Structure 1
Amino acid sequence: MSLKDGLLEEIRAELRRRFDRLTKAAREAHAAATDPGSKAEGKYDTRSLEASYLAAGQARQVEELAADLELFDKLSLPDFGMEDEIDAGALVEVDMNSESAWFLLAPGAGGLELEWEGRTITLLTPSSLLYRKLLGLRTGDSAESPELSVSEVM
């Protein structure tokens, strides 16, 4: 198993944990929204309406997490050498404003942060400006706004 296979397994496990927690919360919110006890007791009582909004929002989040899980279940990450251009699937260490940060250029689950092998890794998706700024850079390259330099590419 490669280094990145272990990272993928950790991402999948974290997505499953979040999916399980959110699914449970969505079921509870749905039950609260449909419970006869949450029926409005007056024209200013909005408990039922608020519960239905919460249930709908959580159901949407469950769908998004399910889509991310499906993406990552099928995903394999290519290995990159120190001379390769950064592209989708790259694990990149950058120096931003004198601080080191690790990013994985991923197809989904943008913003997910996880601890892996002593590193905090943040997933970036193509909708992220930083993802787009990193594309095509190589180890030792720099970019502006935000000011960053690439330390390592895997």
Structure 2
Amino acid sequence: MDKSWLQQQVLERLAEDLLQAEEAVQAAHETATHEENIAENKYDTLGLEAAYLATGQARRAEAIRQALATWRQFRPRPYDADKGIQLGALVCLVDAQDRPQRLFLGPGGGSMKLLSGAQLVQVISTEAPLARALIGKCEGDEVSMQLGPSPQQFEVVQVQ
């Protein structure tokens, strides 16, 4: 599986998200400033609510812009067994029921699921609890963590 292809997919998805967020900002701004939405009394809050929505959407758009910039600068490195799993690793885990799970550890802002051929790849930030548990691990290592009410066990099967 090609890490640069996965990175490109993340960039494309973030670009789509940014476009949607910018459209939402514009729509909320237009609603907030439209002359029909000028408050006529203290109970008429549509314009005020739209202004709050526009502010929130603008913050969301800025967060996506920052994630895009980070992902554009990101250069996944090949796996180094001496360092173990690090940022940029493509990891295959199996759980206690031998169900495989593929993870791509990337910078923040790109958490999403991608389809690579017939394989589902979960993109997670190194800030995610599972990613933090994986940092420094190598092929064959086991990882235990509390997910919900019960502990989960994973084995690192493959790292790229």
Q: What TM-score do you get using the length of structure 2 for normalisation?
A: 0.85
Q: State the 1:83 CA deviation.
A: 7.6
SS in 1 for 2:107: coil
CA distance in 1 between partners of 2:3 and 2:111 (Å) = 18
TM alignment of 1:93-104, pairs within 5 A: 93-98=92-97, 99-104=99-104
**Residues of 2 paired with 1:94 and 1:128: CA distance?**
15
Aligned equivalents of 1:64, 1:143: Cα separation in 2:
31
| Distance in 2 between residues matched to 1:94 and 1:102, nearest whole Å | 6
| Aligned partner letter, 1:77 | P
Deviations 1:83-109, CA, capped at 9 Å, x for gaps? 861011101111235332221111122
- Match for residue 38 of structure 1? 37
Shift of 1:130: 1.1
Query: Which deviates more from structure 2 when the two are superposed, residues 22-31 or residues 77-86?
Result: 77-86
Residues of 1 paired with 2:116 and 2:24: CA distance? 27
Cα pair 2:108 2:127 within 8 Å, conserved = no
With structure 1 as the length reference, what TM-score do the two structures score? 0.88
Q: Is the 8 A contact 1:12 1:69 kept in 2?
A: yes
Is the contact between residue 83 and residue 139 of structure 1 (CA under 8 Å) also seen in structure 2? no
Q: Which amino acid aligns with 2:103?
A: F
Partner of 2:43, secondary structure, is coil
Whether the 8 Å contact between 2:84 and 2:138 is mirrored in structure 1 is: yes
- Whether the 8 Å contact between 1:110 and 1:123 is mirrored in structure 2 is yes
Aligned sequence identity (%): 29
Deviates more, 1:99-108 or 1:56-65: 99-108
- 2:127 maps to amino acid: S
Q: Which runs of 5+ in 1 are unaligned?
A: none
With 23-32 and 56-65 compared, the bigger mean Cα shift is at 23-32
SS of residue in 2 equivalent to 1:44: coil
Query: Any gaps of 5 or more consecutive residues in structure 2?
Result: 146-151
Q: Where in structure 2 are the equivalents of 1:1-154 lying within 5 Å?
A: 3-80=2-79, 85-98=84-97, 99-145=99-145, 146-154=152-160
**Is this contact kept in 1: 2:144–2:153, CA < 8 A?**
yes
Tell me the SS of whatever aligns to 1:93: strand
- What's the RMSD between the two structures over aligned residues? 2.0
Query: CA 1:8 to 1:51, structure 2 compared with 1: closer, same or farther past 3 Å?
Result: same
Query: What whole-Å deviation, never above 9, does each CA across 1:18-55 have from its counterpart, x for those lacking one?
Result: 11111111111111111121222432222112211111
Task: Name whichever structure is richer in strand by fraction.
Answer: 2
Q: Is the 8 A contact 2:139 2:159 kept in 1?
A: yes
Using the TM superposition, give the Cα deviation of residue 81 of structure 1 relative to its aligned residue in structure 2, in angstroms. 6.0
After the TM superposition, which of the residue ranges 43-52 and 61-70 deviates more from structure 2? 43-52
